[in-house]
Structure 1
Amino acid sequence: MTAAKTQHAASTDHGGACRPAMAGVVAVPPYAGGYVALDWLEHAPGFVACLVGPDLVFTHANDAYKRLVGREDLVGLPFRVALPEVAEQGVLPLLKSALETGERVVQCARPVRLAVDGGASQLRYVDFIAQPIPRFDGEECGALLILGSDVTMETVSERDLQFSLTHDVLTGLPNHALFRDRLEHALRRAARAQRPLQVAALHLDLFKRVNALVGRQGGERILREVAGRIERAAGPDVTVARDSGDKFLLLLEGEQQPNAAARIQDVVRAVAEPFEHKDHSVYVTCCVGGAAFPLSGQTADSLLLAADRALACAEEAGAGTQRWDDTLPDDAGIARLRLGFALREALAGDGLSVYYQPRVDLVTGEICAVEASVRLDKADEALSSATLNGVAEECGLSAELGAWVLRAAAAQAAQWRAMGFTSLRVAVNLSARQFAMSDLEDVIVRALAEADMPATCLDLGLTENVVMEDMNRVVDCLLALRHLGIRLCLDDFGTGSSSLINLQRLPVDLLKVDGSFLRRVPDEDGAAAIVDAIVSMGHSLGMRVIANGVARENQCEFLARHMCDEVQGDFVSKPLPADAMTGLLQTGAGLAPRLLRFNRTQPTLLLVDDETSIVSSLKRLLRGDGYRILTANSGSDGLKILAEHTVDVIVSDQRMPEMTGVEFLRTVRQLYPDTVRIVLSGFTELQTVTDAVNAGAIYKFLTKPWDDEQLRSHIQEAVAYGAMANENRLLTLEVRTANQKLAAVNRQLELGLARQQSEIERGEISLDIVHEALDNVPVPVLASDDLGMIVLANRAASELFAGREQVLGCDIRQLFPGMPDRLPEGELFSFEHRADGKRFTAEVRPMGSGSQSRGWLIAINGVETD
């Protein structure tokens, strides 16, 4: 409820008459609207309590007030019983005076000593307001509203104010500013006297979880105890400061490093002792990073940075660890730091560019999408997008950098659409920090609107580790993005920590196979099997599968045969600047037909023989038969050609150096089982050939010298055999493609039904809330449909018409015989009604002006008994 609505509700009685709202006061009327007011009081700034009756009994107190007075169980207790020590400090007479006179009592910066921390008292200064609240009929009901704000800091002495500027308020330890001042003085003394000096940074392990366990007050108590333990264990000659949150700083003078390390270890052990909280023990550990003068640095800044570096190493090593820094940052760290500075300046200016790498559809062979990646224009060397994204993450710039890439890519996509490339999609990867932003959807919608680009042209990429952190939140966020029309891609699949159960829940459209799986494809059976399994799994879940990092033609052929949908990598194109990518789109670049899933291309023959004259003769013989002919002079050369080209039929000599024809064809059968393999040799070697035929390594054995027509006939038969196998393969691919599309449609339906079900459940909950709210409204309310049938009656209306057997379902004119036969459309009107000894005014309001509802809403006012 807005402030304006709250004020209006607070100043209107149940009869509709309005009173001027009193300044600083929110009245609590005795009807359902009061619950809204109480909710407002609960979240009001300052300390708020409401008391009723001559004994001033608490009826409400917000959390801030309870924390101020140090007591939770106030409601139901008289003021004198609940807070006797406050009542004795002159507060109770002020309240009673306000009650008796009806005048507001205001006192600024009133001192009140309050009990906190289980009995210890503390002097606080508050602005005090006591305001009587009248009944709505004008009589006093004895209710008081107490408003106060803590102005202790504004009224403390100059000495206390100065102390608060140099010390931590919670622990009383020096703060960072005072510690730094003392460190600079200590460094000058150490330099003059040539004495050692150490600085240590101490950080509590997992303290956020501890704080969540014990609560805010419990966490503050533990921090105070930690501060005391550090001071006692370190000794009186060590400066201990609270840096921020759960981090502390120590300054040790005159100690050699081994002694300082031993003393700090005493601190670590002291912190690790159990803390008592309610009925159980709480354990807190800490990590410490130390730096020594002059080895780690000779200035306050360098020593504090060195201590933080050592602390980071200690935290990586595990809880309760101590590490010392004794070296300056390495060159790589300095270079990365400078790169972060350059990236920040490039973001602020105009020093970044977006490159685009195409993705090609393995069915059509055309460029179907481009993936955007960022480049730093003025870098000394070519830097990958992954390097820049990593630096941005370290510098806290990943969200800003990602938003910049999204805007730039959307603007470029709009230009391509204007050039006629309307089906082209642009893919942008989201970082972990971007995905964690609460306004991610707004950022994306704003970027698309600025570029005038439809959401249906955008693919968003997310890594497995990003989407697996909070599955329920992730699914809700992805569904919201998907509802906009954006396609979602799970990047680098197989390298993260996702489970198949979670993968099934994710509403993603695209699954991108990581390039590390493709390096050994198709040469190694294990790698090929993994890629094939990922493709099959993605299709079974209704996703399109993209292979990233495709570098060779045979990888592309393998992926096409195994139903992969799209390929991306250097084999297609390296990432290009926008102008070069535009040129590539305009030339219609894509994949050759032989590399596509449903390729029906010219039959290809591979002739392998160590005698070049034989190879030349065979080429002359077969040249006119319409074959694409490749040649090799050894088995190893033949394997190299097979790695780069798809071959239908192989004709190989038997006796060749390095490996025989049968050995060569045995290897081919393992790597390329779809080829038809023929041996052509002048040496019979019957047993070897028979074994090879029986093992399926060769299709036929032909002898030299050959009969030209007979050889051509055998090769035509082999090509036809291979073509039939290829047709069977294509039919299988077509069936699998149809099944894939069906699975995708089913997934779309499942996600749509899940969203509709969620919306229905939310709608039902909202409807229940509305019904309950109407039921608790003290004014009788009824609703009818557009035909005049009563479809809703709240509790007050049911009580008003208790003499009737049934209200719901009856005609509106049966309840109100005096109502006009024809209700004026779209108009508000009222009429008076008298029946069963009661008279009242009914206000009739048409419904449907702001919704799809139809009918009439009847509110009954001023019910009186004759």
Structure 2
Amino acid sequence: MSAVTAPHPDEDLFRTLFTQWRRGIIVTGPDEVILFANPAAAQISGYAVEELIGRKPDILKSGQTPAEVYRDLRKALDADEIWRGEFVNRRKNGELYLEARTISAIRDAAGAVRYYVSISEDLHERQRYEQHVEYLSTFDQLTGLANRATFMRAVSAEIELARRAGHEVVLLNLDLDGFGAINNRFGADHSDRLLAEVGARVRDALRHVDLVARLSGDNFAVLLGKAAPGSQPESRDIADRLLATVARPFTIAGSPMELTASVGMAFYPADAGSADELIGCARSATHDAKAQGGNRSCRFDADMAERSGERRRLREELQGVVERGELVLHFQPQLSLHSGHIVGVEALVRWNHPQQGMLLPGDFIPLAEECGSIVAIDSWVLREACRQMQAWREAGLPPIRMAVNFSARQFRQRALRETVADALAAHAADPRCLEIEITEGAMMQDMTAAIRVTAQLKELGVRLSLDDFGTGYSSLAYLSRFPIDVVKIDQSFIRDIVTNPANAAIVQATVAMSQKLGKVVIAEGVETEEQLQFLRRSDCDEVQGFRFSPAVPADEIARMLREGARLDLSAPLAQDARETILLVDDESSILSALRRTLRREGYEILVAGSAEEGLSVLAKHPVQVIVSDQRMPGMSGTEFLSRVKVLYPRTVRMVLSGYSEISAVTDAINRGAIYRFLSKPWDDEQLKDEVRGALREWRELYGRRPA
């Protein structure tokens, strides 16, 4: 299907740039009569291209878009601003649909409007993905019960209510006794059906005010409804009820099966002050019940509380830990799944405790958040990371990204922008190499403030990463509201990705939708070859984890970079072949610069000094992506790519030019997240991102991998 346009002077250019884009593109004259519509616009609206040409976009109106939307649109265009918004439109067949549009005016030298350019996207597919991911991230797929993330949010909310109202929170933790032996004897399928029945029985045994969740494996947890002070007898009765319902015979593989459970109980505020502490106390009580033979319940007791005293002592010792110089940084490599090279590191703090030795973050960071020391620790980590980043650079090592974690409390600091700017300036560090990791919870506590703070950080030129994605709100709709560059998939989804269909589906959906939104996706906690290969097949961008290296001291990272340590990606994938890029430019210096920029990405790079030479190269080699200069002698880039489109349609084509007469058009298109036009001079990181995006587009259109 080809685009149809009314005659106008830029016809060839529009055809080349717009025809194959998957978003709908409509170009009108100043009178708003449609001059151009691409096939995607026709597909979205239901009108044939020929039916759109010569008419006004009003034919798509449904009457259900608020009038203020059109007023805002007109106001933005009159002010020569780009407008972004949503319309409720009507297809030719009468069906209503929600459409996101980016509309801008292209003006001549005198400031008069020559064209209006509209780029649109049907939001139905995005909404479907978001709903699917949200469901998978909220419920346990085996039992239909709440999952861990949902349960922990509910416990945190209940504790906050209890803190204000003065009542108790009661949490029960239930583990099946000897379930491992049952799993080994009957296999995964029968064991899964048994777990599903246990989940149903536990749910039916509870009151409507109670919340039950499957946390993992054969581990269930129950949050009892609002409890009055002194509610331990009632919780004991409910625990006994759960033990009895599990003890009723099951049928597995056609045979009767007796099963028992162990239940642990913990109370807020008597035993713990936070959701994580409360579930930890309940689990400790469960272990005590198992140690006593199982099929019983236990309450968190004084001996367990004594162990909590060590936590209190550590909390006190955290005061002044920065001033005493007891903190050190280790760094875990982040590696490209395209090239295998180290492309970044995550800075992870350690506490060199005078008596206990090197403590990991899990041993003291939660305590630092409780006592308020976390802000000082975060600030030290930021400064030290910037210092180390610049030290590597001065040592002549390849530039890599430095990822730094910010706590929720640090993220709420009013002077955060100045703190980051000062740390960068103090060590003359490149802001483009600094990546700030923020958790979902921190982002969502105050949406308005988060939007403001992330915008301020982006003004500094740093990258932003959404950490532990999937453990909190997990809504991709929120991602589009923030200038996030990177999405990190939490290791809890990676751990059993090759055996748990639900987690595999979450990861694949997250990768697909994040990349559609222009985000880089990193999987953390990658420990096995099977996990690595699954993520490669799922088109994940980067990984980090013990599969390559744990967090190590700075000098070890320097050694890796000097020696060119890399991830072994020699294991073949189905229909795998090296991704090939053709660069076409009549200036040898430009070709050399482009090759230098892209060579570490692991691509096969071919070059041509003219359009004619480019056609000769294409006749000999399969190519997926072509980057061509616009102004070349003999044949322009537009003419060259027009021929390539006919001769080699299974390619993704991009123009790289500083040609001023089309800069306004390309600017309007690029702001709509279109890959096929880049401007000179280019930014190296942006160019690499655009090429990666073009390769993803090729795989989506023509296959998983080049063959």
TM > 0.5 between the two?
no
TM-score bucket (shorter structure): 0.3 to 0.5
Structure of higher RCO (CA pairs closer than 8 Å, 6+ residues apart):
2
Query: TM (normalized to structure 2)?
Result: 0.41
Query: TM (normalized to structure 1)?
Result: 0.33
| Greater gyration radius | 1
